[in-house]
Amino acid sequence: MGAAMEEEKADEALKASEKKLRDVTSVLGEGIYVLDSECRLTFMNPEAERLLGWTEAELLGRNVHEVIHYQTANGAPLPADECPMIGVLRSGVVYRTDDDVLTRKDGSIFPVAYIVTPIIEDGKVVSAVSAFRDITDRKRMEKKLRLFSEAVKGAPDGIQIVDLDGYVIYSNRAVEEIYGFCPDELRGRHVNELNVDPDFADRKIIPSIKETGRWIGELVVKHKTGRTFPIWLTCSMVKDDKGRPIAMVGIIRDITERKIAKELSDALNKVNAAIGSTFDFNEIMKRVVIESTKAIGAETGCVNLCENDYWALRYIYGLPDEMVGTRFSSKEVRHALIAARTRKPVVVNDTHRDERVDRKTMERFGIRSLLTVPLIVRDKMIGALCFHYHSGAVPFNDAQVDFASKLAISISLALENSRLYAIERNIADTLQDVLLTVPEQIQGVSFGHLYRPATEVAEVGGDFYDLFELEHDRVGIVIGDVSGKGLEAATLTSLVKNTIKAYAYEVDHPASIIAKTSDVVRRASAPTMFVTAFFGILNIRSGRLAYCCAGHPPAILRRKTFEVSLLSKSSPIIGAFERLRYVKGSETLEEGDMLILYTDGVTEARKDSEFFGEEGLLSCVKELKPPSAREMPELIFGEVMDFSHGKLSDDVALLSLSLSAASSK
């Protein structure tokens, strides 16, 4: 009785265990079957039934090898002694594979990945459990991947395929060159390991691909050596025949060279702007060496100039100051001589192994790599621009060589412009001095004058002034402004100035003189040219001032009591039309009074949108401490420059005059 009850309990426990097994395995996504020690089926879950086409009842007790594992992928028979499942039952060792096939009830073969695990009791294998899954889709994808990899393995861009979780499945040869890893080292890595930002792919790239199907952008990644560099990445989703996502593919392009080229292009524009902002040879060369060495990334830079039979080191960056002035023979700077002869850059990536350099010179200054470009002005070699690496043999890339070559052309143009500017400046200064020349002194009057151009450009301005003595104790006073600049303006300025002066010896009143001058100008100049001018004749005995203001800013009269007023009588500009009526004006100066004349560059000086203006000038003249006429122009100009923060929008001319103490009434 007791034995029967024990047997019944054991049977119930077995059934309960079997039910639990069926419940658990029925929800698994893998096929499960159990073999006894003779390879006969004792259990099979619903997924295994679906995949194999057999029911558990149909296979129960049958030899599994003979029913579902008796042939290979090509249909050849698989002997029992070569069957891995039987091998597990014999050896007791777990077997795993993802390259095998099983046969369905209808005789068709399908690829599977499976694991067979032995069940051991008392040291003996009593059964085995096999879990398998259909990998038809994966095999199909792998076949496509093999075809794809053959097609893209030689592509210039990196091609990489990752699974939906971001783990690398495939990389072509270009990826190895980009990252420094071989494909086997990359396979199985998560893409986050390659990015500088370790979770960027999980945060941005993969979610974007899953949501929109693609991601495009720039990314900073890590080379196998640890250096970082930029890539341009284009990613998209890969789907199977049923439209289900199965992988992600990325096209990778190393844009280091492109970025360097862009940075050097921007730097070249910056250097060009720097050297284009001055015509001074020394300043140009100083800026070139500093800015270009920084831009190209070299450790030091210099310019050697040809001086007779030697090359003199004149401009440096990163080198000791005491090296400036060092002279080299042609043998010592052989690389510069080669650049001079070939008119091309000389690139030496390792001075220890290149015969184009003088080894002793390189060792003396610790130079391991150098780039030299010739500096040529008017088809004559004037020197060489050199960049160096000292800490190691660093190769110069194409972008750096291109930058240096283009820079050399810019320098040559800048230096030629500097030479032409020096010539033009000399001509302009000489001509401007002639147009602004006044006597050192005139008996009976004290005076001061000033001219300042708005820019450094070597061009004659249109502002002019003059003082000259006339008969009968009279002094002629002229200030004017011709439209435009350059030779045409200078010609008209000379014409106006000399015509006024010539007529002043024949005609008494300034208005008549200006009228005659206007007729001359109208006939002799282009219709687009015009002149504004103030001309006055001062009697130094009586203090009487007769004047005509032809379209010019009104003169200021500052009394010895510090009251200021404008000489308000005004007339048309000179040379605009014929038969114009010019108005006579008169005023009387006493000892201590001052006449102040100016061009519109004074009143049109700006601070943002605010002008210095007529009111500002009147206030300035009134508030200045009582200076002499000689000092007044400099004081007014100082106030104008303070107001405009040192920037002029137009040329400035100032002329001030007062009766001297020696003149009598």
Q: What is the dihedral of CA 261, 263, 265, 266, to 10 degrees?
A: 170
Rounded mean pLDDT, 510-515: 93
Same fold, 24-134 and 138-254: yes
> Collapsing DSSP states into helix, strand and coil, what is residue 242?
coil
Tell me the average pLDDT across 97-118. Answer: 94
Once rounded to an integer, what is the mean pLDDT over residues 179-192?
86
- Residues 247-268 have pLDDT tens digits of 899 999 998 888 877 877 887 7
* Percent of the chain at pLDDT exceeding 90: 50
Q: Does domain 138-254 have CATH number 3.30.450.20?
A: yes
Q: Which tokens hold the place of 169?
A: 């499945």
In this structure, what token pair is assigned to residue 205? 């790239």
The answer to whether residues 347 and 401 touch, using CB atoms and an 8 Å cutoff, is yes
Which token pair is 203?
A: 């945060």
Question: Is residue 433 classed exposed, middle or buried when 0-12, 13-18 and 19+ CB atoms within 10 A define those classes?
Answer: exposed
* pLDDT single digits (tens) 332-387: 999 998 998 899 999 999 999 999 999 999 999 999 999 999 988 888 888 899 99
Please tell me the predicted confidence (pLDDT) of residue 24.
Answer: 64
Percentages helix, strand, coil for the chain (3-state, rounded to 5) are 40, 30, 30
Q: Which amino acid is at 47?
A: E
User: With helix as H, strand as E and coil as C, how does 42-97 read?
Assistant: EEECHHHHHHHCCCHHHHECCEHHHHHCCECCCCCECCHHHCHHHHHHHHCCCEEE
Mean pLDDT over all residues of the chain?
Answer: 87
Cα torsion 177, 181, 186, 192: sign:
negative
The pLDDT score that the predictor gives to residue 458 is 47
- Considering the four listed CATH numbers 3.30.70.260, 3.30.1600.10, 2.170.120.12, 3.30.450.40, the one that applies to the domain covering 261-425 is 3.30.450.40
Q: Is-contact 345 338, C-beta < 8 A?
A: no
The pLDDT score that the predictor gives to residue 408 is 83
Name the pairing type of β-strands 327-328 and 124-134. Answer: unpaired
pLDDT of residue 109: 95
pLDDT, average across residues 536-540:
95
Cα 109 → chain centroid: 62
Q: Which helix (H) or strand (E) holds 518?
A: helix 510-524
Q: What is the pLDDT of residue 457?
A: 55
**DSSP assignment string, 402-418:** HHHHHHHHHHHHHHHHH
pLDDT for 513-537, tens place per residue? 999 999 998 888 777 778 999 999 9
Mean pLDDT of 150-171: 84
pLDDT of res. 575 = 85
| 633 CB-side CA count, 13 A | 19
The string of pLDDT tens digits covering residues 193-229 is 888 888 888 888 999 999 999 999 999 999 988 888 8
For strand 556-558 and strand 531-539, is the pairing parallel, antiparallel, or unpaired?
unpaired
- Whether the full predicted model's pTM is greater than 0.75, yes or no, is no
- Provide the 10 A C-beta neighbour count for residue 216: 12
Number of Cβ within a 10 Å radius of residue 573: 18
pLDDT of amino acid 227: 86
Domain ranges of the chain: 24-134, 138-254, 261-425, 436-659
Q: Are 433 and 467 in contact (CB under 8 A)?
A: no
- For domain 24-134, the CATH class is alpha beta
Domain 436-659 classification at class level: alpha beta
Give whole-number Cα distances, 609 to 413, 440, 604, 613, in Å: 36, 39, 11, 12
CB–CB of 293/387 below 8 Å? yes
**DSSP characters over 249-277:** EEEEEE-HHHHHHHHHHHHHHHHHHHHHT
pLDDT digit string, tens, across residues 283-333 = 878 888 888 898 888 999 998 888 888 899 989 999 999 999 999 998 999
Confidence of residue 665 (pLDDT cuts 50, 70, 90): very low
Query: What is the band of 77 on the pLDDT scale with cuts at 50, 70, 90?
Result: very high
Residue 445 has pLDDT above 90, yes or no: yes
